[in-house]
Amino acid sequence: MTVNETMLAGRKAIVTGAGKGIGEAIARQFAAAGAEIVLAARTGGDLERVAADIRAEGGTAHCVSADMGDVGQVTALVEQAAALMGGVDIVVSNAAATGNAPILDLSVDEWNAVQQVNVTGTLALLKAAFPHLSAHPAGTALIISSIRGLSGTPGTGAYGASKAALNHLTRTLAAEWGAAGIRVNAILPGPVFTPLMEESARINPKIREAYENCSPVAGWCLPEDIARPALFLVSDAARKISGNLMIIDGGLTAINQDCLLLAD
């Protein structure tokens, strides 16, 4: 896909979890389409690398450190982004915690920590952004959820529950905020070959083989495969799309099977 360099011209976006993986790919795609970007994550090292690349390509990028598990930091992120860019009209909530463990092995505190980052952090981000989004005729929010929120998967209960909550939140906000001119959508990726997945596959090579070949459309989904549809969803080309849960998984959920039955 060739990015139209004016597709997001004049738009001002926040992308959380932008230092690597899906968030990095989205930030780069948006910048290539002409948007000014605030890159957010807990640590600044990766953000500075991504920002430097965007600037080298002629784009505009700012870095703001923020922990999505801290509501105060999330609120401050939005206000700082608005001050840096003179407004905010696109918000992408991508940063997430995993917390992989069987439910019986998961403490209540560990459960709450995942919900705090994934659900409460996203809610705080979007609520803080509402005044800015509603002030723009094309204000839009995009939540990066997961197919884990569609069905039960052993060992991912806390994560899956948080993503199910985000799927519901997407449609609720689309219904409530449409009158303010704000569109809210979600992307539900299947397995994506991010740096985190690459590390998991290095530790257990069977993960690489299983996930790579489990979908009808064979081969890994890459971060760019999420970033391109993300660009479409926040652009004027999708101006009548809201409350949509876009599944990007190579057809995995269409065949009602998963690839987590892996040998230890």
User: Torsions phi, psi of 119, nearest 5?
Assistant: -100, -60
Which DSSP string corresponds to 5-60?
TTTTTT-EEEEETTTSHHHHHHHHHHHHTT-EEEEEES-SHHHHHHHHHHHHTT--
Phi, psi of 133 (to 5 degrees): -65, -40
> What CA–CA distance (Å, rounded) separates 227 from 215?
20
Residue 88 sits at the vertex; the CA angle it makes with 75 and 98, to the nearest 5 degrees, is: 50
Sheet strand arrangement including 245-248: 61-65, 36-41, 12-16, 90-93, 140-144, 183-189, 245-248
d(CA 245, CA 186): 5
**What letter would DSSP give residue 44?**
S
Element (H, E) at 205: helix 205-212
Sole residue written with tokens 């004049």: 10
Determine whether 159 is an active site residue.
yes
Compute CA distances 26 → 41, 141, 152, 172, whole Å.
Answer: 14, 13, 28, 24
Facing residues of 13 across strands? 37, 90
Of 135, 136, 112, 115, residue with least CA distance to 124:
115
Among the options 159, 193, 211, 220, which is catalytic? 159
Residues marked active site are found at 159
